[in-house]
Amino acid sequence: MGKSQKESAEQQRGRQEIRDQTSSPGLFPILTAPLQHSSQHPLHPRGALLSANAKGVKQEEMASVRSLMCIQGDKNLQSMAAGTMMRKVKSRSWKKQRYFKLEEDGMTIWYNSRKAGNDHSTFSVSDVESVREGHQSEVLQSIADEFPADRCLTLVFRGRRGNLDLVAETAEEAQAWIKGMRKLIENLENMGQKERLEQWIWDLFRKADKNKDGRMNFKEIQDLLKMMNMDMNELHALRLFKTADKSQSGTLEDDEFVLFYKMLTQRGDVLEVLQEYSGDGQKLTLRDLEDFLCEEQLEGERSHTHAQELIDHYEPSETAKMLQAMSIDGFLMYLSSPEGSIFNPCHQGVYQDMTQPLCHYFISSSHNTYLMEDQLLGHSSVEGYIRALKRGCRCVELDCWDGPNGEPVVYHGHTLTSKILFKDVIIALESYAFKASKYPVILSIENHCSVEQQRVMVQHLVTILGDKLLKTTLDSTVPECLPSPQELMGKILIKGKKIGESGENPNEAAEESLSGEVSDDDEVDEDGSHTGSPGHRGKSSKHHLSRELSDFVVYCNNVQFVSFEHSRLHSKFNEISSLSESKARKLTRSAGAEFVQHNVRQLTRVYPGALRTDSSNLNPQEMWNVGCQIVALNFQTPGLEMDLNDGLFSQNGQCGYVLKPEFLRRREKRFDPENPRDREGYQPVSLVIQVISGQQLPKANMKEGAIIDPLVRVEIYGVPLDQAKQETRHIDNNGFNPVWNDTLQFTLHAPELALVRFVVEDYDKATKNDFVGQYTLPFMCIQQGYRHVPLLSRDGTSIPPSSLFVHVRITERDVRSDED
């Protein structure tokens, strides 16, 4: 046989291998690989499972093998797996003994009461964001005199779940849990897409294996299908079960369960896309993939080099790589990756110009940052600041009042909300201000303190923050405009009232009226009600301002808003006005174009009105439409408003600063959000979204046997003319792999301001639909073509592997036809 004949035979064998691997269309490569080789990660449970199978270990011995593999070579994990008695602490008076241990899967923490053996709880390591060591929580600080720091630790959970404060019996045991948890968290963070899905499958197996014998009978499989949000015909389920039961034992063991799952997760929708561009219907050659990237994903000239990069990165078959081809598994791996996400990965880092004045940016901002709950009785906590800052918030609020022992406190004045020390807040700011973002943080201070305690505030600011605190203008020069985020990197700015700069009030304390000038709490809503603390409404008082604190107000001098004309004639660039939502809303509707021009020159802060005692939020979009930079929201309250905030600030490296569109930054251009067609350069666009399918949607509620009837609604938030909602039909009894193939179409007149929100709900004809998941992103960050939309929970945390599969196309509309 000649050389060319040999090459031809090798190519034929390679093509046959690809055909063999793609005989079950649309399966994740994770599910084709486990039968041949195990995961290489030493902590990965499936790796232990398959390694044990390779050695011929019996099923009933698998649990112990997995446990050994999970803790192999790590004394801290061994200690966690053995179990530890620790005190769970909720307050100085509530401390209970609990027994904690790492379960055999290496992913679950189990704990119970010493007395109640059957009363136990569990949580996943994936729910834990970080581990703090020592007295790094308010609860543990309160018992610092009782338990030394080296025995204390705090588990910080994702989302809005409260922290878990623990005290170990010895410093050694505390260190074992601190180091062990950090290793498990690091392991999870380093998991690839393949391993994450594998972990999810293994968790399902473990939950459905009721008798823990390492195998699944048909009844357990039926329960599993319901757990997976799927109501499958019993005969069809039985056929799949028998097909997967290669050993004909009446149960599914490890690899048989993988095969069963492979059959469940066939992605016909993705196979159809591949076949449209494939020459043989089974794979994409390099040229096929280039055509797909160019024609569907609209990558243009980049498609040639990118096609080869995708094959090298995502194709699991070495033979396919040799042939410069992509199998269905590699294709699905690409589409399910960040590169195949609807969010443009080029916008994930800081990509915007950060050298423009502060007033040219939207700034992620928090209202009543100290509150964890409502505005009347809620708990105040330093944790509120930590959580907000870690989410990229760049403007936090401190309501400061005189406290006992000469120490100022932060709380919602004249209410029953609890109090925290101003000093503790500043300590937290020093530690967390620049962990998520290097760009400046603004402290919006509502100052109700006496001069004496204001001086204490100054002392804490100087002593704790040091050089991070901005005390004078940059380079000590007289500026003519606000500095940029780039120039202010690593700096903390004070927003507050400033003593007149013309030389009046030379004394160390200056008397100022509180009739609406000093703090946000003294604004008056349009209905005449006072917007401050409920117990403070309608009151007027005299207030003394410390010269030292006043001097720290450099670029954010809080002044009362009078009118746009007054601001145009008299305001300085470093002045900022705070407006209640009702006042701001009236201005946006009566003088939107003037509001835009006002915000080109200086900063505006908008905050929720006084009637929102439940810590509900205003819709920030209306304020962003006129260029308001600081729209303060209650970060502790999930919902649409926080989804929009998270969506807007998901771009630009999640740094908390987003450059406003060009038409909101230029003095010489006029933009009125009520009439977007009138702006220079007006170009409407058409957005067409085909909602194709859903993957592994979560349950709306955890009732046993409950299966959702999902529908998808796409919502557009932007200027009034762009506000729109459309939804698909609902699919009965299938949250696992529903298929819609419904097309939704929108016209956007100011796309630069638009946010697109995908919402999945459980349809109910008798009552309000239940929330299932959502994802919000800026229109300008959308990637066109076939894309996956990752879903988030109500509190904004990810819920993998839940997603939607969509096709997006954006085209410019003819301006003349749009006007008609």
Cis peptide before 801 (omega within 30 of 0): yes
Residue 100 marked as a ligand binder = yes
Residue 109 marked as a ligand binder = yes
Element (H, E) at 235: helix 234-244
Q: Are 645 and 363 in contact (CB under 8 A)?
A: no
Residue 250 marked as a ligand binder = no
Residue 288 marked as a ligand binder = no
Residue 446 marked as a ligand binder = yes
Would you state the structure tokens that stand for residue 281, as one six-digit string?
Answer: 């219907």
The C-alpha atoms of residue 454 and residue 462 are separated, in whole angstroms, by 12
Residue 102 marked as a ligand binder = yes
The C-alpha atoms of residue 122 and residue 108 are separated, in whole angstroms, by 7
Residue 96 marked as a ligand binder = yes
Q: Are 497 and 558 in contact (CB under 8 A)?
A: yes
Would you state the structure tokens that stand for residue 353, as one six-digit string?
Answer: 């110009």
Residue 469 marked as a ligand binder = no
Residue 106 marked as a ligand binder = yes
- DSSP secondary structure of 140-179: HHHTTTTS-GGGEEEEEESTTPPPEEEEESSHHHHHHHHH
Alpha helices in 336-448 (DSSP H): 382-390, 422-432
The C-alpha atoms of residue 357 and residue 459 are separated, in whole angstroms, by 30
Residue 113 marked as a ligand binder = yes
Which letter does DSSP use for residue 720 in this model? G
Adjacent-strand bridge partners of 739: 693
Residue 212 marked as a ligand binder = no
Residue 497 marked as a ligand binder = yes
Residue 741 marked as a ligand binder = no
- Of the residues 44, 347, 360, 412, only one is catalytic, namely 412
Residue 219 marked as a ligand binder = no
How many other C-beta atoms lie within 10 A of the C-beta of residue 242? Answer: 12
Residue 95 marked as a ligand binder = yes
Residue 89 marked as a ligand binder = yes
Residue 24 marked as a ligand binder = no
Residue 399 marked as a ligand binder = yes
The C-alpha atoms of residue 730 and residue 708 are separated, in whole angstroms, by 10
**Parallel, antiparallel, or unpaired: how do β-strands 409-410 and 630-633 relate?**
unpaired
Residue 88 marked as a ligand binder = yes
Name the residue with tokens 């174009």: 593
Residue 111 marked as a ligand binder = yes
The C-alpha atoms of residue 79 and residue 176 are separated, in whole angstroms, by 7
Residue 107 marked as a ligand binder = yes
> Is position 544 annotated as part of the catalytic site?
no
Residue 707 marked as a ligand binder = yes
Residue 94 marked as a ligand binder = yes
> Is position 367 annotated as part of the catalytic site?
yes
The C-alpha atoms of residue 174 and residue 79 are separated, in whole angstroms, by 10
Angle at 714 between CA 712 and CA 719, to 5 degrees: 165
Q: Give the burial string for 736-774 (b: 16+ CB within 10 Å, else e).
A: bbbebebebebebbbbbbbbbbbbbbbbeeeeebbebbb
Residue 586 marked as a ligand binder = no
Long-range (24+ apart) CB contacts under 8 A made by 756-759 are 756/687, 756/714, 756/715, 756/716, 756/782, 757/640, 757/643, 757/644, 757/647, 757/714, 757/715, 757/716, 757/717, 758/712, 758/713, 758/714, 758/789, 758/791, 758/804, 759/712, 759/713, 759/714, 759/715
- Of the residues 44, 367, 536, 807, only one is catalytic, namely 367
In the three-class reduction of DSSP (H, G, I as helix; E, B as strand; rest coil), residue 86 is classed as strand
Q: What amino acid occupies position 762?
A: D
Residue 468 marked as a ligand binder = no
Would you state the structure tokens that stand for residue 557, as one six-digit string?
Answer: 């001098």
From residue 375, alpha-carbon distances to 314, 404, 616 in Å are 50, 22, 10
From residue 703, alpha-carbon distances to 222, 329, 454, 674 in Å are 16, 34, 54, 46
Residue 93 marked as a ligand binder = yes
The C-alpha atoms of residue 656 and residue 323 are separated, in whole angstroms, by 45
Residue 630 marked as a ligand binder = no
Residue 572 marked as a ligand binder = no
Which letter does DSSP use for residue 276 in this model? H
In the three-class reduction of DSSP (H, G, I as helix; E, B as strand; rest coil), residue 668 is classed as coil
Q: Are 617 and 609 in contact (CB under 8 A)?
A: no
Residue 542 marked as a ligand binder = no
Q: Are 49 and 351 in contact (CB under 8 A)?
A: no
Residue 60 marked as a ligand binder = no
Residue 179 marked as a ligand binder = no
Residue 471 marked as a ligand binder = no
Residue 108 marked as a ligand binder = yes
Catalytic center residues = 367, 412
- Enumerate the known binding-site residues for substrate: 88-115, 495, 497, 578, 605
What residues are designated binding site?
Answer: 88-115, 368, 397, 399, 446, 495, 497, 578, 605, 707, 709, 733, 762-764
- Residues in the annotated binding site for Ca(2+): 368, 397, 399, 446, 707, 709, 733, 762-764
